[in-house]
Amino acid sequence: MKLLRSIFFGFYSIINGIWLKVNKVDYGRLTIHGFLMIYNKGKVRIGNGGKINTHPLKNIIGGDTRSSVIVKKNAELIIGENFKMSNSAIYCAEKIHIGNNVMIGGSCRIWDSDFHPLSSSDRLANPNEGYNTRPIHIGSDVFIGGFSIILKGVSIGDGAIIGAGSVVARDVPAGEVWAGNPASFVKKIH
């Protein structure tokens, strides 16, 4: 069984390497378990020591989805060193910066966009144009619990923890635990 798993993920490693090059991703040492769905029309940089799980066998908690990274034209996604992400989605229409040593739990979503206009008449006329975007900044040493959503315009300070299932719609200071929908302050980390 171990040999089969090794062959299986070895195949994905080759495919992912080709797919990252085709999508012009600048990356260091990066381990990807499963096939990473990536679409890049902007700038993507991932630092050394990254690990992305994108297969149900690699994280049963978030195994209901696969990891995806979408970077729209002229957008910028910069990810620091020792980044860990499990079966989660990043959608970057403007700018997302993620620091070093960040862990993103299973089935999380990080979106810097509304995806569609807020006005119903604008949505009817052109549902995929004219939506709002605002940059996201996630500091270093942050942990984002599984099934959380980080919305546009949010800044999460260094060392913060986001509780599982949270919807983060406003800034989270460094060294604090936030949780809930909408996410609110729980406690300071010692």
| Long-range contacts of residues 151-160, Cβ cutoff 8 Å, at least 24 apart | 151/111, 152/111, 152/112, 152/113, 152/114, 153/112, 158/99, 159/189, 160/189
What whole-number distance in Å separates Cα of residue 116 and Cα of residue 18? 32
Say which of 55, 116, 137, 190 is annotated catalytic: 116
| H helix runs in 24-180, sequence order | 120-125
Name residues whose C-beta falls within 8 Å of residue 29's C-beta, 6 or more positions apart in sequence. 48, 49, 50
What whole-number distance in Å separates Cα of residue 94 and Cα of residue 108? 19
What whole-number distance in Å separates Cα of residue 134 and Cα of residue 102? 21
Which token pair is 116? 């569609």
Q: Give catalytic status of residue 55 as yes or no.
A: no
Give the catalytic positions in this structure.
Answer: 116
